[in-house]
Structure 1
Amino acid sequence: MTSGQNPTLPSVLGGPAIILVQPQMGENIGACARAMLNCGLTDLRLVRPRDGWPNEKAIANASGADLVIDNARVFETTAEAVADLEAVFATTARSRDMIQRFVTPRVAAEEMRDRHNAGHRVGVMFGPERTGLVNDDLTLAQTLITVPLNPAFASLNLGQAVLLVGYEWFQTGDLPPERFLHTGQTRPATKAELVNFFEHLEGALDRTGFFTSPEKRPSMVRTLRNALERMDMTEQEVRTFHGVIAALTGKRKNQS
């Protein structure tokens, strides 16, 4: 088999960001970078890579995907890594005790392509090799991706998972933008705007005594965030809800 590299041919680039949350091995990051460039993806974001960055083993295992490796960005938190994105998908191998929407990679790829073609900034999150994404990371996603594989052996390594999602993305290249087009003078809310709104809401609920049990607060917060994520809010809607919270907590402009 040949290397599959031909610099004389045009490159097909562009697409969702790939966010690797706490990846453990440089070799796996390199494999992901290679899989990404196979599918024309170049925006690699790393959240607290265990072995630091840059990483020589990642460079070696990228097998020439220097465009991805050289432009990879490192973030301290998952929220920071997705802050500028307007739609985030997250991969998980397990059904969790959370109410969220699950789709296959093929369905996710079609939705990502529609959003991308409509001008939205899109990303896909992948968790650590051994444990996957934690629930607090999953609340940053509107939709979860799960792969229908052999129920008795559904394990994928990180590079395989990125390649599978990337391949499905690449196959949707001819689809026209049909959904997720917002009308009026607005746009989809970014993750930073949504997290700011979540924190505003949760702070107001803390002050009004809504969270009566400290032990249950984290799960209640996740439930609220998941429900609000599924609304797919615009920037205008987020600002409106900020105003609703202010009004309900007594901070009206005309209040005496």
Structure 2
Amino acid sequence: MTGRNGGAELTPIDPSPVVILVRPQMAENIGAVARAMGNGGLFHLRIVAPRDGWPLPRAWITGSGAHRILDNAGVFETVAAAVADLHRVFATCPRPRHIIKPVLTARGGANEIVAAGARGLKIGILFGPERTGLDNDDIAHADSLIRYDLNPDFMSLNLAQAVMVMGYEWWLARNPEQPPRELQVNETAPATKGELDNFMVHLIRACDESGFLRNEQKRPGMVRNLRHFFQRGEVTRQELNTLHGVITELVRGPR
């Protein structure tokens, strides 16, 4: 199934927070927000008092396939109306001044959003207009503020980038067990220590036969260096098979 203008189908991942754009100024920015939301697994979009009205065809063009998010976007006249059915509201605010509210990083906010969603609470995140951001009256509707921990000398995100940061952090917060590093091995697998040791025997025997290890004093250190080199990373079985073939051909010599 496709959305408006042939966009790809997107399925809500709930409980996900509602992205609330307050007085957005350009259709292209709203479309870019929808695209960012799709990447982060967010689906629910609400728009408060868009400057140029709604719907705006250019948003679907910029949305690059996130059409169902735009098709289902809700439009509200005020922030109060947009958050009326929510239990908790967070407001993104680059420079909170003279406001007494908890201030969280994007990661801290994402963790709280996931925890609150797990308790069945409906959550919203406010994003302000492109030029000015949220004003104090907008922020008054929020329980907590979210401030991105970025370069304080140059903190200049566009609207879609701001939403993408929260989408990324929310996605990670939903999957705390996801390993921070993994080896992509395709159709092979990491070699066992036994398989690696078997290769080292093959390699060292070939080095001995070729005379590479003829210096008896340096031989132990050179062998250790070779072993350290291959032990340093996760060598795969396919890589070892290739290296076995290389050594065999080098020992055989030119044909």
> Fold conserved (TM > 0.5)?
yes
Q: Aligned residue for 2:145? A: 144
The CA deviation at 1:70 is: 0.2
Letter of the 2:51 counterpart = R
**2:122 corresponding residue in structure 1:** 121
Q: Structure 1 residue 98: deviation in Å?
A: 1.2
Aligned to 1:35: 36
Whichever structure has more helix as a proportion of its residues is 2
Distance in 1 (alpha carbons) for counterparts of 2:92 and 2:151: 17
Where does 1:1-256 land on structure 2 (aligned, <5 Å)?
13-14=13-14, 15-174=16-175
Most deviating of 35-44 and 16-25: 35-44
How far apart in 1 are the matches of 2:83 and 2:117? Answer: 15
CA contact (8 A) 2:35 2:64 kept: yes
Between structure 1 and structure 2, the one with the greater Rg is: 2
Whether contact under 8 Å (1:93, 1:155) holds in the other structure is no
Listed one character per residue, the Cα deviations across residues 63-109 of structure 1 (whole Å, up to 9, x for unaligned) are: 01011000001000000000000000000111311111111000000
Contact 1:113–1:175, Cα closer than 8 Å, also in 2: no
How many percent of aligned residue pairs carry the same amino acid? Answer: 51
Structure 2 segments unaligned to the other structure (5+ residues)? 1-7, 178-255
Shift of 1:175: 5.4
Counterpart code for 2:172: Q
Paired residues of 2:110 and 2:166 also in contact (CA < 8 A)? yes
Deviation (angstroms), 1:137: 0.9
Deviations 1:194-232 (A, max 9, x none): xxxxxxxxxxxxxxxxxxxxxxxxxxxxxxxxxxxxxxx
SS at match of 1:172: helix
Write the letter of the residue equivalent to 1:66. Answer: H
Name the residue aligned to 1:221.
none
Query: Any runs of at least 4 consecutive aligned residues in structure 1 with deviations exceeding 3 A, and if so which?
Result: none
CA shift digits 1:223-256 (9 cap, x unpaired): xxxxxxxxxxxxxxxxxxxxxxxxxxxxxxxxxx
Q: Which runs of 5+ in 1 are unaligned?
A: 1-6, 177-256
